Structure 1
Amino acid sequence: MSNPQALARRLGTFDAVVIGLGSMIGAGVFAAFTPAAAAAGSGLLLGLVVAAAVAFCNATSSAQLAAVYPTSGGTYIYGRERLGPWAGFVAGWGFVIGKTASAAAMAMTFAAYAAPAGWERPVAIAAVVVLAVVNYHGVTRTAGLTRVLVLAVLVALAIAVAACWGGSSPAPGNILGDGLLAHGWYGILQSSGLLFFAFAGYARIATMGEEVRDPRRAIPRAIGIALGITVVLYAVIAVTLLAALGPDGVAGTPTPLAVAVGTGSLPWAVPVVRAGAAVAALGALLALIAGLGRTTLAMARHHDLPRWLAAVHPRYRVPHRAEVALAVVICMIVTVADLRGAIGFSSFGVLIYYLVANIAAFTQPAEDRKYPKALQAFGALACVVLVATLPPLSAGLGVAMFAVGIILRAVRINR
């Protein structure tokens, strides 16, 4: 007899790949290159390579773990199973607080491109409410809408690249600028931390392990395919931006892709790119809400969050209470936070989450291993290094929020 509190396995490999792409190809591709260029100049190309390498290590750890533990919760479950309840809690808490902030950042990014001046916050809140309703009505609707959003973003990016290279301004000599190492290795690592933010969506596939058909086969394949497509796309965009604007030009504008398109011979492409940025932010927000709901569900099942959040809707088979509660919190963050602070805080939580994932994968026995331990060791070390590159304020807030979570769990255990 089926378990009424279990989620339905309705997603295939293609659906999981699309959800992963929708999570990764979000607002980051339209905005993350600006601070990366400011930190490293043309060295952001090396930063992109480092970020992709770290993402690959983390992805292999997530895939290896998800094949053995195909249930909702991602690294929260992996940490509990491999390292103990406290490690699982640290990972889950990092994911929830980090990705809640990230969801608010995506909502604000959407509004920055789509809303009239002065209406950014109300429009951002409206976007959260609408997408929460979509998620509430079932994961197949989430996957279906994500397909549409991903296709729209890919079309907008293809138009942007064609418009940039079709004009008279791109100069291959701009790509290297003053040299890849002009800003030093610290600048390159800092750009890696910033660009890593745009790669982190592949974990969303692992957190939906309870809803994927044949998860031992489908989840590792979906993670690898989605990450590979994203790396190629980001490399093309990075080279295009540097050729069109140069490192200083990319660093000098919050909307580098739109500015680069404006220098080309297709002025009509500028509003298309702006629309693409808005759609990309919506796609990332949609997938974030879905992934957050599943991790919250898993933590509530193990009493690390209030038990009433573990409810699954009897008709739609989604964690409806968790998704409603998260939507409320995201809207509250939108009313008080700024975009840069939300992204920095999110990066801290996400990197801690992947640190636990790599350590957990490192402990798996030989019969469960798909990848060498060296990848997990490098991934764990890289997460620590990238955390060290974050702004002090972001790191301080992250430490404070982890302290709050640990104290609350310790009090609950003592009671």
Structure 2
Amino acid sequence: MIRREASPKTVAPRRFWCRDCGNMAVDSCMDGHTVTAASAALRSALLPAAKRVALQAEVLKDIQKLPEGRAVRAMQVLLGPAASCTLAFQDKHRKWQTDLELAAASEAGAQVDLRRYYLYALLSNTGVDSDTPQFDQLAVDEVVDALGEDVDLARMTNAQIETLAASSKLKEVRRLKGVRGSMPCCLQLLQGVAPHLEELQLHYVDRLQLQVVLTMPRLVRLELWNCSEDLWRYPFSLAPEEEQEAMTDKQKQQRDVQQQLQQLKSQLEKQWSSAQVSQVQALEQTLQKELQQQELAERLQQRVQWLRIGHLPYGFTMSYIYSQRSTLEELWLLAGTGGPIDNWPYTSGPKGGLDVLHKLRVIKRVVFLRQGVVHKKSCDEYCKVNQTNNVCSSPPEQCCHSWSYVNNKGVKGDNKYQCEYCTPGVLVPPF
């Protein structure tokens, strides 16, 4: 039997993790304890929760490349007591920081451990793709030349945004994200891209900006989140009169012709000759064909198919969703559970927002983002998994977690409703 004597010069393996002790390994851990590299231990600890925190395989691989010192600190955060930290970000154009509580209390006082979520944010390396233009290294006039069809205003300075708004190359933009209503030239920018824009992400929209958005004919993907005070103080909805104002000249002409035919029928119904009857029937058939062609053209024309909306007045929110009922396929809606409608969006009426599903003709998926509950039980107590069919046992209109409704012919019954708490990973990050 070979026995290895401990050397008096042995140094504690400070960069290794002892799984038995749950802390950094020391000399005594080398005798009988399971000792691994800190990065390997961190990856093993995060792997079971990969679905819930939406960690991708590439991120787990990157964790193995972390310096051992950072991996040790990460393990201490992951396994240690609840704490708080400050998350900061700074570059040449932006600087911000926020305090993060690593544990939050629910209504019943039970601790909800959020450390895994924040740990993922702390360990992620934020960078810029090599093929993405470095706007901070370009002159203001060169920014426009570096842009393509996909533009993110969050990465641009105010001077660059103003240059873009006045540029003729704005016509090439098809996808515009990171837009905030308080940005300089925001209204001018929206007016410039309105005829051809296909995807838009707009936060803190005001009334004038919203009116421009409503006139974008090729928009298929839209995110509206938060609005200015004037929209809350003087809310409006898409009334029939406003819908008529949005009609094209051809639609107005067809409507007028149809009204004239109806008036002609009512006035001369008993006095028509056979020739007049034939003439009216021919006009009706021609008009009917034009209406069918117009309806087909509207279906083929790009309309909003994906919508994420929240923190806008109830009347406008519901009327806008209804106006897109013929084309909307996926809806992300901020809506609370139950309660009086005057506390929207933290409450959304007795049906919890479910009534919107019956208004959408081609909808495939609806995601309700919950930020308010009316029941007294904590979310974890009220919303539990039914072990027999892996379905959330809470009624959808009372489910206090974000959940998804899937309108699929192959999905039946309660399986259409997927709760994020009961089915981790069911929600995909939007936009």
Fold agreement, TM-score > 0.5? no
Higher helix share: 1
Taking structure 1 as the reference length, the TM-score comes to 0.21
